[in-house]
Amino acid sequence: MIKKLHTTVLIAFFAVFSFTAFSFAAPVPDTGQTQSYTNTFGEDSDYNCNPHSYTVIGNGVVKDNVTGFEWQQATAPGTYTWQQASDYCAGLNLGGKDDWRLPTIKELSTLVDSSIPYPGPTINTSYFPDTVASDYWSSTANVYGTGLAWYACFDDGTVANFNKYSNGYVRAVRGGQSNNNFIDNNDGTITDTGTGLMWQKATAPGTYTWEQALTYCENLTLPAGGYSDWRLPNRNELQSIVDYSRYNPAIDTTYFPDTQAAYYWSSTTDAFSTLIAWSVYFYNGSVASGYGKNNNYYVRAVRGGQCGSQTVITLSSFTAAPKSDRVILEWTTESEIDNAGFNIYRATAENGEYIKINDSLITAKGSPTQGASYEFVDKNVKLWKKAYYKLEDIDLNGTSTFHGPVSATPRLIYGLSK
């Protein structure tokens, strides 16, 4: 369900993106899910929390702009046992850097794109084009089974564990490891300064179907007379409070003392089988989607993070027409709800860095019942050099959505400038 709502209050925290071997605070990336699967408000697609954003920085490296991590763009050649995977990453020299490592299971899981159904690969292949729809090793060992370690499966997004001597695929990461840093606010809430999220301390009373869980969280006010912008966490957010050094339950019970070693609902639907939603099993920390939304599971609400609804415009076209000395960008909307206007971004490569090129916001002309047509002329172009463009629409609350890219190559037309 798509609905306009206020932007959730941010919980302040310090983010350190320096690439040395220490812990740092970082937001939890969004799951990528934008499709609506219910008319009940509160599902994953109703919130746009820290959406995936990547930049190809060259030399085989992709930067996650949300977490600050740098990832090996290509899957490592071949397959590896768990120890071989760790050794490969430790010995990797890529992009002029030699401090690569095998990612933790939480880090690896953030690459999963939950908008992509089985058989995947469930990842943005524009940035990670050779990803195999199979199991990728993490550095996280299974605390209750010393011969096991955790992996993320990129055919559907499952997080599970298997024998360390099994063969899996590998993608290295670099950057300081992020960790939870919980603070008990002594009012029934817990703040994690490691992610910027605030959590309901107690498990919600009873168990709930998936839709009941959505409604419970949306209607929650905690503490009494306090925050009312609670929501059911998406699968990445819920996994962020798992403590993989513990089990039964796999969480820090100092801060979450009544957590059940059982399944807790996330707001994220399984894109392959939409009658199923993702859940986190707090016995050990696995992330699975094997059960229907009518099952009764436990619930813990969350708030915070850079979350808002997507903008609501209906875009019918967005084109780029090349001339010899300019590119003419045109777009048409069918309707616009609370739209403030547009920005245009240009890059020299499809997955490169996009830079805003309009001096001021292009004012919206449409309405909820009537669309409009727009034109922008980019004169700062080079002959025979392809340019890529993205269109950003911004609503009255500052929430934005990107469209595109489209591309154009300025060229001579019969030897004349036209």
pLDDT tens profile 173-226: 999 887 898 999 999 999 998 888 999 999 999 999 999 999 999 999 999 888
pLDDT of residue 404: 84
pLDDT of residue 309: 47
> Percentage of residues in the chain with pLDDT exceeding 70?
90
pLDDT of residue 307: 65
Residue at 141: amino acid letter: A
Q: Final residue of a domain: which of 152, 174, 196?
A: 174
For residue 395, is pLDDT > 80? no
Contact in structure between 243 and 220 (CB atoms under 8 Å): no
pLDDT of residue 286: 98
pLDDT of residue 3: 32
In this predicted model, what pLDDT tens digit does every residue of 57-109 receive, in sequence order?
999 999 998 888 999 999 999 999 999 999 999 999 999 999 999 999 999 99
Does some domain include residue 323?
yes
For residue 372, is pLDDT > 90? yes
pLDDT of residue 19: 33
Does some domain include residue 117?
yes
In this predicted model, what pLDDT tens digit does every residue of 303-337 receive, in sequence order?
987 665 445 677 888 999 999 899 999 999 987 87
Report residue 32's pLDDT band, with 50, 70 and 90 as the boundaries.
Answer: very high
pLDDT of residue 390: 92
- Residue 123 has a CB neighbour count (10 Å cut-off) of 23
For residue 167, is pLDDT > 80? yes
Residue at 285: amino acid letter: G
Does some domain include residue 244?
no
Q: Provide the edge-to-edge strand list for the sheet that holds 173-174.
A: 54-58, 61-64, 70-72, 173-174
Report residue 233's pLDDT band, with 50, 70 and 90 as the boundaries.
Answer: very high
Residues 6+ apart with CB under 8 A from 211: 38, 40, 293
Contact in structure between 123 and 166 (CB atoms under 8 Å): no
- Structure tokens that stand for 126 in this block: 């524009």
pLDDT of residue 368: 72
Contact in structure between 188 and 230 (CB atoms under 8 Å): no
Does some domain include residue 249?
no
Q: Mapping DSSP to helix (H, G, I), strand (E, B) and coil, where does residue 93 land? A: coil
Does some domain include residue 31?
no
Q: What are phi and psi of 239, to 5 degrees?
A: -65, -25
The CATH number covering residue 63 comes to: 3.10.100.10
Segments forming the whole domain that contains residue 329: 312-408
Report residue 149's pLDDT band, with 50, 70 and 90 as the boundaries.
Answer: very high
Lowest mean pLDDT among 223-227, 256-260, 351-355, 385-389: 351-355
The CATH number covering residue 367 comes to: 2.60.40.10
Q: What is the pTM of this model?
A: 0.72
Q: Final residue of a domain: which of 120, 144, 174?
A: 174
pLDDT of residue 306: 61
Calculate ∠ Cα 34-40-44, nearest 5°: 30
For residue 388, is pLDDT > 50? yes
pLDDT of residue 35: 92
Does some domain include residue 125?
yes
Report residue 413's pLDDT band, with 50, 70 and 90 as the boundaries.
Answer: low
**What are 141's strand-pairing partners?**
149
Does some domain include residue 185?
no
What is the gyration radius of the CA atoms in the chain, in angstroms? Answer: 23
Does some domain include residue 147?
yes
- What value does the mean pLDDT of the chain take? 89
In this predicted model, what pLDDT tens digit does every residue of 7-28 receive, in sequence order?
333 333 333 333 333 344 678 9
Residue at 414: amino acid letter: Y
How many independent structural domains does the chain possess?
2
pLDDT of residue 24: 45
Q: Final residue of a domain: which of 149, 174, 199?
A: 174
